[in-house]
A and B are shown apart, each in its own frame.
Chain A
Amino acid sequence: MATPAIEIEHLSKEYPYGFLNLKKKISLEDLSMRVDTGEVFGFLGPNGAGKSTTIKLLMRLIFPDRGTARILGKSIDDVSMHQETGYLPEQPYFYDYLTAAELLDYFARFHGLTATDRKTRVQNMLKKVGLETAKKIQLRKYSKGMLQRVGLAQAILHDPQVVILDEPMSGLDPLGRREVRDIILELKKDGRTVLFSTHILSDAEMLCDRVGVIVGGKLRGVGTPGEMVGIQTQGMEVLFEVAEGKNLPLLAKATRTGERYRVQMPEEELYGAIEQLRAAGARILSVAQIKPTLEEFFMNLVEADRAQANAVEVSGK
């Protein structure tokens, strides 16, 4: 059996707070999971769920209270593990007195690359993330989105086997998001393993082989995006245009916006509705699944947690 790219076993982390740090807040509770070599794994969860904590534990920026983890078979305590790992921190910030080219060259030195190799890789990477024209500008003059691109560049500069990205789409405009998506897909194509955290479901659905959902420091499940999120389809929505005065029963349930009508229905009524629209000569603009929004999806999990906690409390009484 091939060595998994990332193996996490019973990782737990608590943060002390309050007077004399006597109180403790559980940030991550007994997390165990694995990411296979070559897969794109999405780590999904609302803010404060424990995504960044997990990633920081993997990168040894913070230390676990319990548990361990391995990357490509090497313990995370082994600093040589970073030779084959790339990491993009959440909302990255870099030495603002350096230019992008200087920063990338600085980081590349820690990977033992030769001067010629460094120069070539830095050039190529800046081109890849769309910063070729801004390479001589100090980072203090960069926008948030540009810093995100620099962050991505430094994460993959040394061609690592495992790439860990903490909220890689954060702060990017639609074009930037698309470029990041393309880079992730390219990494997958090259056989690299990518673990990224996000709270944007569409990104996860579009990119991930598997996702892990984490809420309140606990892993709620691991599976394909369809298994984890998509199965909760709440019905269908049809958008259409139809001439005035048509006797269409569907119109009673529809919402009108300008010339367009929008109607929602259970999945089993879809074909009947399409027949009606065809008979009335309506123009169907789109048919889409109604999925829970991110908020609804996570709120359902949080509510389920609370209900379970209440049930335990009641039965305890």
Chain B
Amino acid sequence: MKNVRTVAANTFREAVRDRVLYNLVFFALLMMGAAILVGQISIGIEESVIVSLGLTAISVIGLFIAVFIGVGLVSKEMDKRTLYALLAKPVERWEFLLGKFCGLVMTLTVNTAAMAVGLYLALWAVKHTLEKSDGWILVAVYLILLKLALIVALALLFSCFTTPFLAILFTAGIYVAGVFAGDLRTVQAVDLSPATMNLLKGVSYLLPNFEDFNVMGAVAHGRAVPGALVGQATLYAVVYGAVVLAAASAIFSRRNLK
């Protein structure tokens, strides 16, 4: 695992030295400012508006980073051929891939944590106090982070066998489909044959169910998030993520570099 740690630390260092990341943090702070403004004109529901807007901003910004930087993790290295010298060291290809994944997840964790601090500051600015129930925001942020980690894994998988442009399209497509995976499982359409319904249901179980990671509505209204839901989402993310990374590793391990 030492090699994985080394690659991860370097991936994190790259992100830190990448100005785009700083711009996104700046953008997050700007969103927080907007949240405060909206909070001031939403009489009585400032808190839930700020929490909703803040969590949405954290999710959307994280999504952009996960997709765009996630796809570039491997494809950029292949394109610029920075990978050549590295793979000529005693490093397994799966170690490189896992290191890249961990490095970006580490970056997202720091970035998301910084934005969560911004959200709490915005909340404090409006309420001048923080309550115990505001702690659920952290749970929502944690679930967003799990979702982002899954997206990074998917972006990595697609970038292992297709062009960056298509990998972005596929990742974004899977994300959108995954948001509606729950609906697909329960859909009742009268004009579809049972075979089509079964196929649809089968596909819906293959898709990552991103809706399970969304507790923004509950948290915005100060409601508690059940521990079982958090545990289930964590287990789901770990298993699904491991399968996706294993597939990515299997493809990348046999890939000819140009």
Contacts and interface: CB of A to CB of B under 8 A. Distances in A.
Contact of A151 (B3, B85, B91, B92): B85
A100 interface: no
Contacts of B13: 97-98
Interface stretch (B76-84, B108-116, B221-229): B76-84
A109 B6 contact: yes
B91 A79 contact: yes
Contacts of A83: 90
B6 A110 contact: yes
B132 interface: no
Nearest to B16: A97
Interface string A137-159: 00000000000000100110000
Contacts of B254: 63
Interface string A68-110: 0000000000011011011111011111011000000011011
Nearest to B258: A62
A60 interface: yes
A78 to B, nearest CB: 10
Contacts of A107: 85-86, 89
Contact of A61 (B80, B82, B84): B84
B89 A93 contact: no
A36 B87 CA distance: 24
Contacts of B91: 79, 82, 110
Interface in B61-104: 80-82, 84-92
A5 interface: no
B257 interface: yes
A94 B90 contact: no
A283 interface: no
Contacts of A154: 85
A94 B89 CA distance: 14
Contacts of B85: 87-89, 92, 94, 107, 151, 154-155
Q: Chain A interface: which size bin?
A: 20 to 34
A95 B10 contact: yes
Interface residues of B, number: 23
A111 B14 contact: no
A222 B14 CA distance: 45
A180 interface: no
B17 interface: yes
Interface in B207-258: 254, 256-257
Contacts of B88: 59, 61, 82, 85-87, 89
A95 B12 CA distance: 13
Given A93-B81, A93-B82, A97-B18, A60 B87 contact: yes
Interface in B1-46: 2-3, 6, 10, 13-14, 17-18
Nearest to A107: B89
A98 B11 CA distance: 11
A161 B89 CA distance: 14
A63 B84 CA distance: 14
Interface centre among B3, B84, B88, B89 (most CB of A within 10 A): B88
A56 interface: yes
Given A56-B257, A61-B84, A62-B256, A106 B90 contact: no
A92 B257 CA distance: 14
Given A89-B88, A106-B6, 19 more contacts: A59-B84, A59-B87, A60-B87, A61-B87, A63-B256, A79-B90, A82-B88, A82-B90, A83-B90, A87-B84, A92-B81, A92-B84, A93-B80, A93-B81, A95-B82, A97-B17, A109-B2, A151-B85, A154-B85
Interface of A: 56, 59-63, 79-80, 82-83, 85-89, 91-95, 97-98, 106-107, 109-112, 151, 154-155
Interface of B: 2-3, 6, 10, 13-14, 17-18, 80-82, 84-92, 254, 256-257
Those 4 A-B pairs whose CB atoms lie nearest each other, nearest first = A87-B88, A110-B89, A89-B84, A62-B256
12 contacts: A56-B257, A61-B87, A63-B256, A82-B88, A82-B89, A85-B88, A89-B81, A89-B84, A94-B82, A95-B10, A106-B6, A111-B90
